Structure 1
Amino acid sequence: MTFSNAQRQAMAWAAIAAAALLLLWLLAPVLMPFLVAAVLAYALHPAVEALARRRVPRMVAVGLVEAGAILALLGLLLLMVPILSKELPLLREQIPMLAARLNETLAPWLAEYGIDLKLDIASIKAFVLKYLDANLEDWLATALSSARIGGSFVLAIAGNAVLVPVVLFYLLMDWPRVVDRARQAVPPRFRPAVEGFVAECDAVLGQYLRGQLLVMALLAIYYSVGLALFGFDLAVPIGVFTGLAMFIPYLGFGLGLVLALLAGVLEFQSLYALVSVAVVYGSGQVVESLFLTPRLVGERIGMHPIMVIFALLAFGHLFGFIGVLVALPVSALLVVAVRRMRVAYLGSRLYLG
């Protein structure tokens, strides 16, 4: 059986693609920090190029941009400090009181239905004093003990925390050369089509990132103002954390909701906390899901609001949490591909007959 030149070329490309996918699957644990660094380099290289155009030495520009990104991440994590420093003492004081109140109100109500439930207040107090009244030395001892138990996991996290910034630095330093080598790897006859496709994808992803950042900023302001209007002492750190964490769909909202509920229950100790959090976060989720993300992100990447909602649900169903995380950027690339396939189809013999 003989094959034509086109068939042989198609089989060769299919074999190369299969070998690349197999290699990616086998090396997935090793490649993860490199992929994370590559994604960060793609997002940060415009800032480096902007500084380089202003005659800032490239090494200095890379160092400034990477340091800014690390400081932004640390700032997001440090938002938890005032929350924990205020909530932990309140937890230590209020948990035994809340348990006693539940015994007084919930236990008689359950007894009417034949359910005998009574909380052991002494055990709860001992637990709280043991784990929430520990000093820094005790926390360090617990952390070191956990590190010995799960040493490989801790070492992997520590290794990635060091490896990702190093790889990111070298990628940002060599980004123009990396792009040029990737371009040279494309066969010359395919280069104009591939370059046009990549340029369109780059424009769409840039629009996505700008839209997502705008959504995060608006939500941070909304949640901070909403919680402040209801009298929350920690309105600003909780609201800003929730807004910035919305970059991770659902998980960021869930963490902010839990923090707000905890702060409200400990501060007000009444149904007022639950009602206020429900109003602020319920309305915020509706506005974000039905207006902000579809309008500010979906329209920027050329997707109808219904398609944005469908993409989030479909990718979440197929790939879980990772699918939700990459749903919109991957959908943006698919929009570009489908748009080009439609143009090719409308000009094909199959359509024109």
Structure 2
Amino acid sequence: MQFTPTQKSIAAWGAIAAVFVLALWLLAPVLAPFVVAAVLAYALTPLVDGVDRLGRGRIPRALLVMLVELLFVVALTAIVLLIVPILAKELPQMRDQLPLLLQKVSALLQPLLTQWGFQVALDMESVKSFVKTYLDTNFQDAMGSVLSSLKIGGSVAFSLVGNLVLIPVALFYLLMEWEKLVGLVRQLIPPKLRPPTDAFVRDADAVLGQYLRGQLLVMLLLAVYYSLGLKLFGLDLALPIGVFTGLAVFVPYLGFGLGLLLASFAGVLQFSAEAGLMHTAIMLVVVFGAGQVLESFVLTPRLVGQRIGLHPLAVIFSLLAFGQLFGFLGVLVALPVSAVLLVAIRRIQTGYLASHLYRG
């Protein structure tokens, strides 16, 4: 059976793509910091170019890159530091309220356990001593436990610290050499394929830009929603928890889970002596339940999915599929990669409909 040059070309590119995907799958842990740096470089390059245009090319590129990267790190650090006022207020409350809360739970459960033949006595003095030891304002004991756990999982801690150092370094060089890297990749493409490839890259770039703008809008709207929703229920830490939850939804599931956990602790500690646990439970169900529905079925499909042309079911499927294949890294890149694949599928479909194979 003889193959045409077009068929050979398609087979060759298909083999290259298969090898590339296999390499990504095998080297996912090693490539993770470089992929994160590349995604950040793609997102931050327009900002660097914009500042360069404002400076009319008089500012050295290295200084611009360091300035933009510093601003990004400061913004990211500010988001992380939203947790600090939460912990600063919750830990003293936990130290004071946790023994009382456990005493209430014990008083509620002991009659039921007694009916079932279980005799359980809660030693409140031991509980208070335990809480005082581990939740004192002097965090030396807690830090000792953390350091001990880091020694046990030294490889994990080393990997985490290594990634935190490697990502900014890789990001700096990628921002410095982004145009050169794009030009180098373009030179590897055969001259006959460069015009359609350039058109594909322009379409993909437009779709990814729409994705980033849509995702940013979703984050801002959810930050406002969670802050107002928690405030309406009287939560003192509504603003930091709401803003953190809204901005952290950029990481699907993890951001929502962390926000829910922080709100649960804050609600239990604040309302346990006043309105009881029922008020906290209602707050979590109403605010976070409605927020998850709002994010999954309204905001993300309409502001992200529609902007990149993905059906809501396709958005959900892409998150699950990429998460299954590539883990946490796959969840991060699921939607932008799906957007690029959608552009490729549309071009293949257009070419197929215009070909003699379709026309018969």
RMSD of aligned Cα (Å): 2.4
In structure 1, what is the Cα distance between the partners aligned to 2:82 and 2:185? 40
Which residue type is aligned with residue 179 of structure 1? Answer: V
* Partner residue of 2:263 out of 260, 264, 268: 260
Which residue type is aligned with residue 332 of structure 2? Answer: L
Within a 5 Å distance, the mapping from 1:120-269 to structure 2 comes to 120-133=123-136, 135-269=138-272
Greater RCO (Cα-Cα under 8 Å, separation 6 or more): 2
* Partner residue of 1:63 out of 51, 63, 66: 66
Please say if 1:31 is aligned against 2:38: no
Deviation at 1:116, TM superposition (A): 4.2
In structure 1, the residue matched to 2:284 is 277
Task: Extract unaligned runs of 5+ from structure 1.
Answer: none
Against the structure 1 CA distance between its residues 140 and 208, is the aligned structure 2 distance closer, same or farther, given a 3 Å change threshold? Answer: same
- TM-score norm. by structure 2 comes to 0.89
Against the structure 1 CA distance between its residues 293 and 7, is the aligned structure 2 distance closer, same or farther, given a 3 Å change threshold? Answer: closer
- TM-score norm. by structure 1 comes to 0.91
* Partner residue of 2:103 out of 87, 100, 118: 100
Paired residues of 2:352 and 2:358 also in contact (CA < 8 A): yes
In structure 2, the residue matched to 1:44 is 44
Q: Aligned residues: percent identity?
A: 59
Deviation at 1:154, TM superposition (A): 1.8
Please say if 1:85 is aligned against 2:88: yes
Paired residues of 2:207 and 2:339 also in contact (CA < 8 A): yes
Q: How many residue pairs were aligned?
A: 353
* Partner residue of 2:295 out of 284, 288, 292: 288
Give the secondary structure class of the aligned counterpart of 1:299: helix
Against the structure 1 CA distance between its residues 314 and 144, is the aligned structure 2 distance closer, same or farther, given a 3 Å change threshold? Answer: closer
Paired residues of 2:32 and 2:329 also in contact (CA < 8 A): no
Deviation at 1:8, TM superposition (A): 5.7
Task: Extract unaligned runs of 5+ from structure 2.
Answer: none
In structure 2, the residue matched to 1:339 is 346
Deviation at 1:38, TM superposition (A): 1.1
In structure 1, what is the Cα distance between the partners aligned to 2:25 and 2:318? 25
In structure 2, the residue matched to 1:111 is 114
After superposing the two structures, state which structure 1 stretch, 153-162 or 261-270, moved more: 153-162
Paired residues of 2:133 and 2:141 also in contact (CA < 8 A): no
Against the structure 1 CA distance between its residues 216 and 340, is the aligned structure 2 distance closer, same or farther, given a 3 Å change threshold? Answer: same
In structure 2, what is the Cα distance between the partners aligned to 1:84 and 1:145? 21
Deviation at 1:331, TM superposition (A): 1.9
In structure 1, what is the Cα distance between the partners aligned to 2:80 and 2:29? 25
* Partner residue of 1:351 out of 346, 353, 358: 358
